[in-house]
Amino acid sequence: QKEVEQNSGPLSVPEGAIASLNCTYSDRGSQSFFWYRQYSGKSPELIMFIYSNGDKEDGRFTAQLNKASQYVSLLIRDSQPSDSATYLCAVTLNSGYALNFGKGTSLLVTP
Amino acid sequence: ETGVTQTPRHLVMGMTNKKSLKCEQHLGHNAMYWYKQSAKKPLELMFVYNFKEQTENNSVPSRFSPECPNSSHLFLHLHTLQPEDSALYLCASSQSAGNTEAFFGQGTRLTVV
């Protein structure tokens, strides 16, 4: 069973702070890594993807990948109340046909 | 406005009913997926179609039957469902099956009574 693990939270951060969301995966063959945001009652929305070790920045979001340690993280700078949502980590295998999702981390940004 | 459209948005059905969920994508993608999302559980992959061919059936009960007539349309036919099948059913598409980002529709909230 290929697993993707996330702390379910809730993770609470004050407005303006940095939110750090973490994800670990079990299969060393994993090739592609994605972060989705899901608001309550809505469908998942792609935020970022990363394929190579290191950091990838897009606006207030930074994805970090460490394949040796089998973890991927998402940093949200200058957190806003509108960032409050569940963040889903997803991983694909080199031989896989679809994304494998973690349970998600609930983030609450307090004003 | 999403490039992946699902209908209906909400569905209530009895255990003896037959219904179908529809998904349409306008993104020019070649892969389409059905996922099930239940409370407190990760998104569960159900079916994958790549260039209209089913490439994965993730041990889904036969009361769920997928159909992919072309790369833009995907159906999920439902019959004799159980109350535990109540969930959010999400359709997604990607350029091809595998290591490319997937885009989701708004989902169908299914309640089996």
Q: Which of B40, B99, B107 sits opposite A92 (nearest CB)?
A: B99
Q: What is the pLDDT of residues B62-86, one digit of tens each?
A: 999 999 999 999 999 999 999 999 9
* Contacts for B39 with CB less than 8 Å, ≥ 6 apart: none
Cβ contact, residue pair A103, B98, below 8 Å: no
Between CA B49 and CA B105 the distance in angstroms is: 16
Q: What is the pLDDT of residues B24-75, one digit of tens each?
A: 999 999 999 999 999 878 899 999 998 888 887 778 999 999 999 999 999 9
Cis peptide before B8 (omega within 30 of 0): yes
* Contacts for A108 with CB less than 8 Å, ≥ 6 apart: A9, A10, A11, A12, A13, A84
Mean per-residue pLDDT, B76-100: 92
Judging contacts by C-beta atoms under 8 Å, the chain B residues touching residue A101 are 42-43
- In this structure, is the dihedral angle defined by the CA atoms of residues B16, B18, B20 and A101, taken in order, positive or negative? positive
**B108 and chain A in contact, CB less than 8 A:** no
